[in-house]
């Protein structure tokens, strides 16, 4: 019988961890202590660069190296004001993995990261972006569907699997977006995934530094409560953010309307209006995660929030995913074995057993 290790060997070898389960980088949550705990559980952690002051990111990287000797990534947001400083810093400190998020990294930036010794991963929310990233030389992709939390694209994972995972196999592909069970993990591996990435499930763990009210909101929420932010008109560019519906999301719509009207009256520049749109979620997320403001803050979560039933330790979350995947693999193997058995083949060939009228006569 094939084992789980056979299925995710490519992911294990690429990430150099026991379980190729990536803890997605969550701003204000994925700090050095959180990533170290993920590593202790046998999975792979990603430090959130966000728009941290460069010196703060330096401290976090050095702290993580002291806390754990396991591989880890630093997630860099290409549209963040401090992005270029972050990239130089990650290369200087010899970070083993660099994940580009938020947009297209330049080919020169990918090369710069690789020349520092880092392996490069990047998010692919569309087929076109996946192909472009591979052409530009990334070492692996994180295929993320719109079911995910935080900043998202507009294509669901079920479509991306068919467009990208089934067609492109020249680099390891890790799958993200709405994943909350070991059963799904197993079937994604069978489809060809090298591993998966989770966020929401791990945001609700004991080791997560999110405010207790933030975690409790995740436990109480249903899948339908995690919605993408609306875009009012086409005058401003809005990068979709999936979070729990609350008063803060309503205010964001009102903010867009106000900024558009001010632009038309010439009271504000387009650049200033765009800055206010992008800055809204930075402050809103901090208020939710650090202060527990779940009404006005941004409680970023994927639709997998419907699978969050309680607050558990990281190690328990990872272990349960692996155990579920192993149990599901046994179920799949048994079903396939039954289909391949001589008795099954005889039944398929027998016209008596196949014809509906004959089944009725036999009381089937």
Q: Quote the CA–CA distance of 212 and 201 in Å, as a whole number.
A: 15
Geometric angle at alpha carbon 361, from 357 and 364, rounded to 5°: 90
Identify the domain boundary among 303, 329, 346.
Answer: 303
pLDDT of the residue at 178 = 96
- Which CATH number is 97's domain given? 3.20.20.70
Considering the domain architecture, whether residues 163 and 22 belong to the same structural domain is answered as yes
pTM: 0.90
Identify the domain boundary among 198, 228, 250.
Answer: 198
Does a structural domain hold residue 251?
yes
Identify the domain boundary among 303, 327, 356.
Answer: 303
Considering the domain architecture, whether residues 167 and 245 belong to the same structural domain is answered as no
- Per the listing, tokens 């060997």 go with 9
> Strand pairing partners for 124?
143
pLDDT of the residue at 352 = 57
Does a structural domain hold residue 362?
no
Decide if 210 contacts 233 (C-beta within 8 A).
no
pLDDT of the residue at 80 = 85
Considering the domain architecture, whether residues 224 and 189 belong to the same structural domain is answered as no
Geometric angle at alpha carbon 203, from 228 and 79, rounded to 5°: 55
Considering the domain architecture, whether residues 176 and 109 belong to the same structural domain is answered as yes
Considering the domain architecture, whether residues 161 and 22 belong to the same structural domain is answered as yes
Check the CA dihedral 261-262-268-273 and report its sign.
negative
* Those residues with Cβ within 8 angstroms of residue 172's Cβ, 6 or more apart along the chain or in another chain: 10, 11, 14, 139, 140, 141, 194, 195
Considering the domain architecture, whether residues 191 and 121 belong to the same structural domain is answered as yes
Considering the domain architecture, whether residues 131 and 24 belong to the same structural domain is answered as yes
Q: In what order do the strands lie in the sheet with 241-244?
A: 150-151, 241-244, 226-228
Considering the domain architecture, whether residues 116 and 76 belong to the same structural domain is answered as yes
Domain count, the chain: 2
Considering the domain architecture, whether residues 52 and 186 belong to the same structural domain is answered as yes
Q: Mean pLDDT of residues grouped by 10 in the chain (364 residues)?
A: 91 98 96 98 96 95 97 94 95 98 93 98 96 97 96 94 95 97 98 98 97 98 94 80 92 90 91 83 89 95 97 98 97 89 61 52 42
pLDDT of the residue at 342 = 66
Does a structural domain hold residue 204?
no
**Domain containing 20: what range?**
4-198
Considering the domain architecture, whether residues 168 and 289 belong to the same structural domain is answered as no
Considering the domain architecture, whether residues 120 and 219 belong to the same structural domain is answered as no
Considering the domain architecture, whether residues 217 and 158 belong to the same structural domain is answered as no
> Strand pairing partners for 221?
none
pLDDT of the residue at 287 = 94
């Amino acid at each position: 019988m094939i084992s789980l290790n056979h299925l995710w060997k490519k992911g294990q070898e690429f990430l150099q961890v026991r379980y190729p389960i990536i803890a997605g980088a969550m701003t204000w949550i994925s700090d050095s202590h959180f990533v170290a705990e993920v590593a202790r559980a046998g999975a792979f952690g990603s430090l959130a660069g966000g728009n941290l002051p460069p010196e703060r990111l330096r401290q976090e990287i050095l702290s993580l190296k002291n806390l754990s000797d396991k591989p880890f990534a630093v997630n860099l947001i290409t549209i963040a004001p401090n992005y270029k400083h972050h990239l130089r810093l990650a290369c200087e400190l010899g970070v083993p993995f660099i994940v580009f998020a938020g947009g297209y990294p330049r080919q020169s930036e990918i090369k710069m990261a690789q020349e520092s010794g880092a392996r490069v991963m990047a998010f692919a929310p569309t087929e076109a972006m996946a192909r472009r990233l591979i052409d530009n030389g990334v070492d692996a992709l994180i295929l993320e569907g719109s079911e995910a939390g935080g900043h998202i694209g507009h294509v669901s994972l079920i479509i991306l699997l068919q467009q990208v995972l089934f067609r492109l196999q020249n680099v390891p592909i890790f799958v993200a977006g709405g994943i909350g069970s070991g059963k799904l993990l197993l079937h994604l591996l069978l489809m060809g995934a090298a591993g998966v990435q989770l966020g929401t499930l791990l945001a609700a763990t004991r080791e997560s530094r999110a405010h207790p009210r933030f975690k409790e909101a995740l436990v109480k929420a249903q899948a339908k409560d995690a919605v993408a932010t609306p875009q009012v008109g086409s005058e401003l560019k809005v990068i979709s953010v999936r979070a729990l519906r609350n008063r803060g999301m309503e205010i964001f719509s009102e903010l867009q309307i106000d900024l558009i009207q001010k632009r038309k009256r010439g009271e504000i520049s387009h650049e200033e209006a765009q800055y206010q749109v992008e800055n809204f979620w930075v402050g809103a997320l901090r208020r939710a995660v650090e202060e527990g403001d779940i009404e006005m803050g941004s409680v970023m979560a994927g639709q997998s929030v419907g699978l969050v039933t309680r607050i558990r330790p990281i190690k328990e979350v990872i272990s349960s995913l692996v155990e579920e995947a192993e149990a599901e693999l046994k179920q799949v193997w048994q079903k396939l074995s039954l289909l391949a058995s001589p008795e099954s083949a005889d039944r398929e060939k027998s016209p008596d057993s196949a014809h509906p009228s004959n089944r009725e006569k036999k009381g089937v």
